[in-house]
Amino acid sequence: MAIARTWSVAVVGVDGVVVEIEADIAAGLPGVHLMGLPDATLRESKDRVRAAVRNSGVSWPRQQVCLGLSPAALPKGGAGYDLAIACAVLAAAKEAPSDPLQGTVLLGELALDGRLRSVRGVLPALLAAKRVGLRRAIVPAGTLPEAALVAGLEVRGARTLADVLDWLRGEPNTLLEPGEAVRSASTEPEPDLADVVGQPEARWALEVAAAGGHHLLLAGPPGTGKTMLARRLPGLLPPLSSEDALEVTAINSVAGLLTEHGPLIDKPPFVAPHHTTSVSALVGGGTGLAKPGAVSRAHRGILFLDEAAEFGPQRLNALRTALEEGEVRHARRDGIVRYPARCQLVLATNLCPCAPPRDSDCTCSPRARRQYLGRLSG
């Protein structure tokens, strides 16, 4: 009997839970048994990992392979465990040394030919790994800039499973190191309120909202610059602190919105969903593991709802609890997923359904105007 251990991370909301993967190889009919509440995607990893190992030029054990993922009571999903599973099996089969795996967290999905594919949630996963004392991380090459944001953790990137196996065997220069510029965020200039000519009352309202963190309603005819003014509000806000920047970046990592160039989000985000967006896209949710919605992606920044009256009471009321409590909670069968949602809400709306360029041209009755603005409940 041979046992080997590796470590990966389950991402729940924007938090990570370190998962220990044990591989046991024993006499018996060839097969792979996976334990630890895996979902359908994780159960498929048995065939995916086996094909990746074979196509990397390594033999798969012709014995019974038992894989245990603990904590066993935590539901686990996704393909991010592939690399850790492959290394655990090969270490147990003596196809790769196990000593370098100690203190190392492994993240990544394996293609059938052994290539390592990027996964979501690398940043919160590595923050969790650092908290429990793991000292090294191997991630897909495409997520290396994101992984390098975690200070105090040795991170390396790999393109293929073969690269990782070569590193385990002690071959030099097989893994990628993070570049020098991985912390640089986007340098695109923010829209500046100084570019706005006139509109003294609206400018003053934006300055007050920025100074006090107040929500804001911009009402007026079309073409008066409501959207233009709202897009300049983030430029009045201070840059995010290091802690807030990591939190905002982690949310975007879970949502799969980070890029390799300038992964750190250090400016207040500006999120503007369309008025036809669904409630789940607005506050998060969906089938399976709940995903962050627009209100969470706007955390520490601005959530802008243009044509706010067109959103309707159902969508606007869905935001009420999130704005009051500063977080969104999604109840699932296996627990509650939480996403932070501390943002400033900016609404822009016309004054009536006909939306004429000038108020004097309005053809709506007083009742129609009241009903239209009455959609902004709460």
> Cα–Cα distance between 135 and 120 in angstroms, integer?
21
pLDDT category, 285, cuts 50, 70, 90?
A: confident
Quickly list DSSP for 133-172. Answer: T--EEEEEGGGHHHHTTSTT-EEEEESBHHHHHHHHTT-T
The pair of three-digit structure tokens given for residue 121, joined into one six-digit string: 């949630």
- Helices then strands, counting H and E runs in the chain, come out as 12, 17
Structural domains in the chain plus CATH codes: 2-168 (3.30.230.10), 193-373 (3.40.50.300)
Q: How far apart are the first and last CA of the chain?
A: 64
Using DSSP's 3-state secondary structure scheme, residue 123 falls into helix
pLDDT value at 184 more than 50: no
Helix then strand then coil, % of the chain, to nearest 5: 35, 25, 40
pLDDT category, 319, cuts 50, 70, 90?
A: very high
- What is the tens place of the pLDDT at every residue in 143-183? 999 999 999 999 999 999 999 999 999 998 899 998 744 45
Name the strand (E) or helix (H) holding 349. strand 344-349
**CA pseudo-torsion sign 360, 364, 370, 371:** negative
**pTM value?**
0.88
Check residue 300 and report its DSSP letter.
Answer: T
- What is the tens place of the pLDDT at every residue in 326-372? 999 988 776 788 999 999 999 999 888 887 767 666 778 888 888 88
Task: Report yes or no: 323 and 302 within 8 Å, Cβ to Cβ.
Answer: no
> Cα–Cα distance between 117 and 263 in angstroms, integer?
17
